[in-house]
A and B are shown apart, each in its own frame.
Chain A
Amino acid sequence: MSNTRPLSPHLVIYRWRVNMLQSTLHRLTGLFLCLGALLVTWGLIAAADGRVAWNVFAGFWSSGIGLVLLFIWTWSLLFHLCNGIQHLLRDTGRNFGLPTRDRTHDPVYWSTGWFVIAISIALTVLVWVLLIVRMQGGAA
């Protein structure tokens, strides 16, 4: 059924703000983390099943594609975590309302979104530097 009635203006009528990027990324990373939940399930089942199943699982993660997925998954988890904490804080309603929606009135409120994105990237790099150092230490 196609609707012939006129549509009201959609997202394009809004002035762009970082919270739009946060919202999109939160959903995308959430979707990707659901795949991650499947892989956690696979890992636990493989560990319970035995050495052969575990080696298949571990082999996947140490492959090139596995490492790339693991890296994206690390950032997804950390972004979803950081953004989620900010989301929970904003859910309390503090500083929320008409005055703070105006960024000229409170420029800090909206721009903390950039801080959330930056800290998720910094934490991802930190996690992987620590992992690489650890793996090299283990090999030596």
Chain B
Amino acid sequence: MSAYPGQEGLRDPLKVARGLGSAKTGVHHWWLQRTTAVALVPLSIWFLFLVGDLVPADYPMVLATIGQPVNAVFLIVFAVCLIWHGALGLQVIVEDYVHTRWLELTLQIALRFGALLGALACVMAMLAIWLAGTPHS
């Protein structure tokens, strides 16, 4: 039974009245993780086929294949989603297992820098390959 009108259980009615709580931004990480996961389902299947196609490939063929505009765009999207999704997962792993505060903070910052650096590197590399292009025959 509640002590105050509008109160259920132990929840303070003022909290509900102000509209605070996890329903605002608490699910942000969850949604990003799911959104990138949904994107990665078709992208990673596509990536497997791309890599499988490249297997006995020599360097010029690799460049020609991944430099094709469609492949290049999908590779950029794939790399960004992959690293983003990975960073979100690593964040949770660090939160769960690293209990020394300074080390946790260092790792959390380092993995964000690392993810950003990795994603930028992939995008720049793909742009370089794409824009260098294969000459039109």
- Residues of A at the B interface (CB closer than 8 Å) are 27, 30-31, 33-34, 37-38, 40-41, 44-45, 47-48, 51, 54-55, 58, 74, 77, 81, 84-85, 87-88, 91, 127, 130-131, 134-135, 138-139
- Distance in angstroms from B126 CB to nearest chain A CB is 6
Number of CB contacts from chain A to chain B under 8 A: 85
- Residues of B at the A interface (CB closer than 8 Å) are 34, 37-38, 40-41, 44-45, 48, 52, 55-56, 59, 62-63, 66, 75, 79, 82-83, 86, 89-90, 93, 118, 121-122, 124-126, 128-129
- How far apart are the CA atoms of A127 and B44 in the complex, in Å? 14
- Distance in angstroms from B56 CB to nearest chain A CB is 4
**Residue in contact with A81 in the complex, picked from B44, B55, B124, B125, CB distance below 8 Å:** B44
B89 and A30 contact, CB distance less than 8 A: yes
The chain A residue with its CB closest to the CB of B124 is A48
B79 and A41 contact, CB distance less than 8 A: yes
Q: List 11 A-B contacts (CB under 8 A).
A: A27-B89, A31-B93, A34-B89, A41-B122, A45-B121, A45-B125, A47-B125, A48-B124, A81-B45, A91-B34, A130-B52
A47 and B122 contact, CB distance less than 8 A: no
- How far apart are the CA atoms of A108 and B41 in the complex, in Å? 24
A41 and B66 contact, CB distance less than 8 A: no
Contacts of B83 in A (CB 8 A): 37, 41
